């Protein structure tokens, strides 16, 4: 920037770090705090309102009825528990599948292929969410490829339903688990593994006492995605879930009829995820997101 | 790590199985777009290019694609500006609430899209609509940008963390002013991180359906919304199959670009 005006501006900016900081922060803060946190706050505020049963209009009278409904109605409690169960199941399945793949790509495969293998994990991550769910809709359809492949074994595919939902969600979020675990395993210093072997530990012992504790933050980072993405999902459930109801679907079906109730229902996954994030923050997982 | 031979074989087999499970559904989508039968029949009775021609002329799919591109470009532009500003503030200054701010940035992708969606939807309707701004492409861009900020932020922060401020200080010692330092030193240092972050932001916006559903007005249809709307219609099935196949094939492009752009966005911080 040339000219005296530019230089003078630059000089005064240089002398005032607080001013520079507030210039940097003003736009993003306005956006994140006002637009995002503001609307979230407004939504949760509306969870304390009620809906007129006849007109479906929102009545702005303070009450905790919606939360009482959510907590005491059996259906909602079952749906909430089922959703958390699905999220946990998806996370566990993804850890179990991701670990051998990541271990192979990070430490077993020949070094010159490792880069290529990471690309192979990344590519499906970039394929559209909907397309992947759609692929499974075809896979699981009646007389579809899965039925066709299992028939010689005398088996049937799972069809649409809760197991299909868990399978598809695990499939969708798998790369989110493989990549951090791969990165964690790759950064593991070889000297530690050698030291462990020198001290007489066999493969399994080294894995348990050295590898596992050190890649735990990576697993935690991956689990933030698998867990929270599963907990909020309602699209995949609509595509392959059959009649399965998860918390996202219940929120979705209440939005137009009873927004305050939908908002109260929406606090359930938010509360669970915030607790989960805070717990994971202690492992250092959020830094490696 | 000294792995026994059986352990290596087990890992190799497990990895091969895993990759098979990852790729079979995607290959199926590709194959299915050439399936001669209109309804879904397995195994395919014959192969045809007919549906690809149909899809090429589908005006619904075309305009949806165009809407997606516009929304993606808008969201990318906004998130590049906001994410970069934020990254500089967080990595080069210490201030009250810095930790909390890094936490808030992650929230839009960590919280369920449906919550973000209805929150923004109610906010837009109560604040913007009285001002005469209805739900439309603009609100979609605002909604998408909210969760795209984090990917730009993460990429730029990662880059700034690895480059100390000493280059900037050296430039200032040599007499460069704030703007010159930014133009000649800082910007070239973060350029590829910006490109990678922008690419991720665009892809994230391009793929998003939930927030879109709640922030788009009637008549604004992005490609995912179009696919979702046509998925259950037997009449549209062949065109949906082709669009899906194109999206699978196109997913190679961002991976290729990201790999070329920077090492830190390729493997470590992917979101």
Per residue in B161-213, pLDDT tens? 888 778 888 888 888 888 888 888 888 888 888 998 999 899 999 999 999 99
- pTM beyond 0.80: the answer is yes
For residue B2, the model assigns a pLDDT of 63
Q: Which pLDDT score is estimated for B64?
A: 93
pLDDT of residue B208: 92
Please report the number of interchain residue pairs, chain A to chain B, with beta-carbon separation below 8 angstroms.
Answer: 271
DSSP run (H or E) holding A59: strand A58-59
Q: Does the beta carbon of A216 lie under 8 angstroms from any beta carbon of chain B?
A: no
pLDDT of residue A101: 93
Q: How far is A186 from chain B (nearest CA, A)?
A: 10
- Model confidence at A158, pLDDT cuts 50, 70, 90, reads confident
Q: Report the 10 Å Cβ neighbour count for A281.
A: 15
Sign, CA torsion B21/B22/B25/B31: negative
pLDDT band at residue B271 using 50, 70 and 90 as cut-offs: very low
Write the ipTM.
0.85
Main-chain dihedrals φ then ψ at residue A58, nearest 5 degrees: -80, 130
- Residue B203 makes CB contacts below 8 A (sequence gap 6+) with A126, B72, B254
Residues pairing with A58 in the sheet: A51
Q: What is the average pLDDT value for chain A, to the nearest integer?
A: 87
Q: Is B9 on the interface with A (CB under 8 A)?
A: no
Which chain A residue is nearest to residue B98, measuring alpha carbons? A25
Taking residues A20-37, report their average pLDDT. 88
Helix residue ranges, H only, chain B: 5-32, 50-56, 59-92, 98-110, 113-123, 137-162, 166-173, 178-181, 187-207, 210-215, 223-230, 237-250, 252-261, 263-266
Asked if residue A102 lies in contact with residue A178, where contact means CB atoms within 8 angstroms, the answer is yes
Banded pLDDT at A255 (limits 50, 70, 90): confident
Question: What percent of chain B has a predicted confidence (pLDDT) above 70?
Answer: 94
Task: Find the mean pLDDT for residues A95-121.
Answer: 89
Residue A270 has its nearest CB partner, among B111, B120, B209, at B111
Name the residue with higher pLDDT: B25 or B169: B25
Lowest mean pLDDT: which of A51-55, A66-70, A98-102, B55-59? Answer: A51-55
**Measured between CB atoms, which of A20, A109, A289 is closest to B269?**
A289
Alpha-carbon separation of residue A274 from A278, A279, B3, B88, B198 (angstroms): 6, 8, 39, 26, 27
Read off the pLDDT of residues B210-229 as tens digits, 9 standing for 90 and up: 999 999 988 899 999 999 99
Q: Which helix (H) or strand (E) holds A50?
A: strand A50-51
Residues 147 through 206 of chain A touching chain B, CB cutoff 8 Å? 148, 171, 174-176, 179, 182-183, 186, 190, 193, 197, 203, 206
Task: Of A152-156, A220-224, B75-79, give the lowest mean pLDDT range.
Answer: A152-156
Judge contact between B82 and A27, C-beta under 8 A.
yes
pLDDT bin (cut points 50, 70, 90) of residue A286 is low
Residue A1 in this model has a pLDDT that exceeds 50: no
Minimum distance, in Å, between the CA of residue B38 and any CA atom of chain A: 13
Q: Of the candidates A154, A89, A128, which has an alpha carbon nearest to the alpha carbon of residue B253?
A: A128
For chain A, give the percent of residues with pLDDT over 70: 97
Q: Which residues pair with A50 in a beta bridge?
A: A59
User: What residues in A contact B228, CB-CB < 8 Å?
Assistant: 130, 235
Residues contacting residue B60 through CB under 8 Å, at least 6 positions apart = B221, B226, B230
If you average pLDDT over every residue of chain B, what do you get?
86
pLDDT, tens only, B84-114: 999 999 988 888 888 888 888 888 888 888 9
Which pLDDT band, with edges at 50, 70 and 90, does A288 fall under? low
Rounded to an integer, what distance in angstroms lies between the CA atom of residue B157 and that of residue A28?
15
Which among B77, B73, B268 has a CA at the least distance from the CA of B155? B268
Contacts of B2 (CB under 8 A, 6+ apart): A193, A197, A203
CA B261 distance to own-chain centroid: 16
| Helices A247-254 & A212-232 angle (0-180, nearest 10) | 30
The answer to whether A243 touches A42, Cβ cutoff 8 Å, is no
Position A2 pLDDT exceeds 80:
no
- CB within 8 Å of A228: residues ≥ 6 apart: A87, A269, A273, A276, A277, B110, B111, B112
Q: With CB atoms and an 8 Å threshold, state whether A1 touches B248.
A: no
């Amino acid at each position: 920037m040339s000219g005296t005006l530019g230089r003078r501006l630059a000089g005064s900016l240089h002398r005032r770090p607080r001013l520079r900081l507030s210039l940097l922060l003003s736009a993003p803060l306005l956006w994140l705090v006002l637009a995002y946190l503001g609307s979230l706050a407004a939504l949760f505020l509306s969870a304390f309102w009620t809906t007129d049963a006849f007109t479906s209009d929102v009545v702005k009278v303070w009450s905790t009825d919606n939360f009482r409904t959510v907590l005491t109605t059996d259906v909602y409690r079952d749906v909430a528990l089922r959703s958390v169960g699905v999220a946990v199941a998806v996370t566990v399945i993804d850890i179990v599948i991701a670990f051998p793949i990541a271990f192979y790509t990070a430490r077993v495969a020949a070094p010159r292929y490792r880069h290529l293998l990471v690309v192979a994990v990344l590519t499906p991550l970039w394929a559209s969410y909907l397309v992947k769910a759609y692929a499974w809709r075809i896979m699981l359809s009646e007389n579809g490829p899965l039925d066709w492949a299992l028939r010689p074994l005398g088996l049937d595919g799972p069809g649409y339903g809760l197991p299909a939902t868990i399978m598809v969600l695990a499939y969708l979020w798998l790369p989110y688990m493989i990549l951090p675990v791969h990165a964690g395993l790759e950064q593991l210093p070889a000297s530690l593994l050698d030291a462990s072997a020198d001290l007489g530990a066999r493969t399994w012992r080294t894995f348990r006492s050295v590898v596992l504790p050190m890649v735990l933050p990576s697993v935690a980072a991956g689990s933030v995605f698998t867990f929270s993405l599963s907990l909020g999902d309602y699209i995949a459930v609509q595509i392959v879930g059959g009649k399965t109801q998860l918390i996202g679907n219940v929120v979705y079906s209440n939005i137009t009829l009873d927004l305050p109730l939908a908002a109260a229902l929406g606090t359930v996954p938010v509360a669970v995820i915030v607790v989960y994030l805070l717990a994971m923050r202690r492992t250092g997982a959020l830094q490696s997101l | 790590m000294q792995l026994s031979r059986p352990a290596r074989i087990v890992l190799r087999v497990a990895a091969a199985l895993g990759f098979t499970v990852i790729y079979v559904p995607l290959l199926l989508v590709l194959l299915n777009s050439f399936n001669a039968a209109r309804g879904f029949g397995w195994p395919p009775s014959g192969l045809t290019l007919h549906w690809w021609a149909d899809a090429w002329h589908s005006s619904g799919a075309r305009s949806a694609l165009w809407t997606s591109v516009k929304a993606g470009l808008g969201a990318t532009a906004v998130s590049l500006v906001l994410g970069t500003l934020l990254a500089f503030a967080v990595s080069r200054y210490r201030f009250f609430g810095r930790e909390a701010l890094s936490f808030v940035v992650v929230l839009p992708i960590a919280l369920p899209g449906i919550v973000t969606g209805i929150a923004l939807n109610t906010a837009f309707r109560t604040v913007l609509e009285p001002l005469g701004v209805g739900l439309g492409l603009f609100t979609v861009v605002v909604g998408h940008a909210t969760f795209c900020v984090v990917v730009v932020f993460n990429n730029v922060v990662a880059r700034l963390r690895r480059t100390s401020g000493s280059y900037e200080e050296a430039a200032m010692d040599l007499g460069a002013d704030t703007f010159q330092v930014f133009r000649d030193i800082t910007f070239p240092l973060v350029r590829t991180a910006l490109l990678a972050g922008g690419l991720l932001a665009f892809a994230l916006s391009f793929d998003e359906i939930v927030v879109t559903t709640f922030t788009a007005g009637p008549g604004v249809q992005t490609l995912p919304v179009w696919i979702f709307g046509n998925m259950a219609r037997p009449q549209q099935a062949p065109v949906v199959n082709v669009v899906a196949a194109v999206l699978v094939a196109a997913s190679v492009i961002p991976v290729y670009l990201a790999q070329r752009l920077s090492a830190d966005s390729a493997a470590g911080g992917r979101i």
